[in-house]
Amino acid sequence: MAAVSELIRKEDDGAIGFGDHTLETKAKIEDFDIGGNLYKVKTFKEFTKLERDGLFVYESEPGTSVNNFRVLDNGVSFTVCGDKDAMITVGLKEDSEYSVNVAGKDMGKMKTNLGGKLSISVELEDKGEINVKVVE
């Protein structure tokens, strides 16, 4: 999977793609309209961050490239790639329990904090792309 060259895009099936983990310097796009929601993405090799309507959605350290990102009724799912293993944090419902699946492996249940954030460590180095699904 390649980096998202336009930094953020709406995919044909309604999902979104964002981030470019190959950039040496920070790049950002603000007020990108998808279905009436305004998205902001900041990305480069050190981190990738996505906000929707001013609220936290996704962050990774180091930077990642994300495709097929979907906000589900009960969680999120996406495909991610990067040059190094990454810590990914997603914004969900606060103080709730979610089942986490990374690269087809059940990682068990994890609970969000009071801010609704859930952090997942993913092994990306030499893996290509992997699927992540987080559902209540």
pLDDT in tens, 78-112: 999 999 999 999 999 999 999 999 999 999 999 99
Q: Is 48 helix (H, G, I), strand (E, B) or coil?
A: strand
Dihedral (CA of 114, 52, 28, 120) sign: positive
Query: pTM value?
Result: 0.92
Share of the chain above pLDDT 90, in %: 86
* Rounded Cα gap, residues 95 and 61, in angstroms: 23
Cis peptide before 62 (omega within 30 of 0): yes
* Rounded Cα gap, residues 105 and 96, in angstroms: 21
pLDDT in tens, 115-134: 999 999 999 988 889 999 99
Query: Any idea which architecture 8-135 has in CATH?
Result: Sandwich (2.60)
